[in-house]
Amino acid sequence: MNRRLTLICHAATAATRAAAFPADEGIEPAAAPLAALAARVGRIDRAFAGPALAARQTAAALGLAATEEPALRDAAVGRWAGRRLADVAAEDPQGVAAWRADPAAAPHGGEPLAAVLARVAAWLDARVPERGHVVAVTHAAVLRAAVVAVLAAPPTAFWRVDVEPLGIIELGSDGRRWNLRAGAI
């Protein structure tokens, strides 16, 4: 395939370590083996980064001259931003349950999952005709949404995709659609 898209989750932040919703914090100083990851990614024809500080810092640490891309922003979680999931769940168990069960729900006052899925799917569709290797540094929610879109899975599958800091998802395209690529070590 002559079309390749590598999606990289940003490096660890205080929020990811605390299982908290992000509030645009930067990456941790000892965030990772970024040099090894940069070598694994290989030659790149075009790079993007989500607008959040963690995505931009990770892209810079990887040596990428990334274009900031608003479509790669994290899911907006409204009043839950900066708070630990466990604390929100203890305070508003019905809200968290609705958020996880109903893709149209936004009990936090932010962006519903359905909107995140649609935004990421549209961005992927726009990349299909591009040739070469595109890299995008973004958030776990965007990588999850990309997997759901590529597999044409139901929205609830979003919650069944685990993405670690610096996690990678590889996609390949035949010029018509994306396919999930499994690679060898």
* Residue 88 lies in domain: 3-181
pLDDT by residue for the chain (185 residues), tens only, comes to 578 999 999 999 999 989 999 999 999 876 556 777 777 788 899 999 999 999 999 999 899 999 999 999 999 999 999 999 999 999 999 999 999 999 999 999 999 999 999 999 999 999 888 889 999 999 999 999 999 999 999 999 999 999 999 999 999 998 888 999 876 44
Q: What length is written for the chain?
A: 185
Tokens of 68: 């900031």
Please choose, from the candidates 158, 51, 61, the residue with its C-alpha nearest in 3D space to the C-alpha of residue 103: 158
What phi and psi, each to the nearest 5 degrees, are found at residue 41?
-65, -35
Distance between start and end Cα atoms, the chain: 19
CATH number at residue 8: 3.40.50.1240
Tokens for 135, please give them.
Answer: 């890299």
Helix (H, G, I), strand (E, B) or coil at 87: helix
What is the number of structural domains in the chain? 1
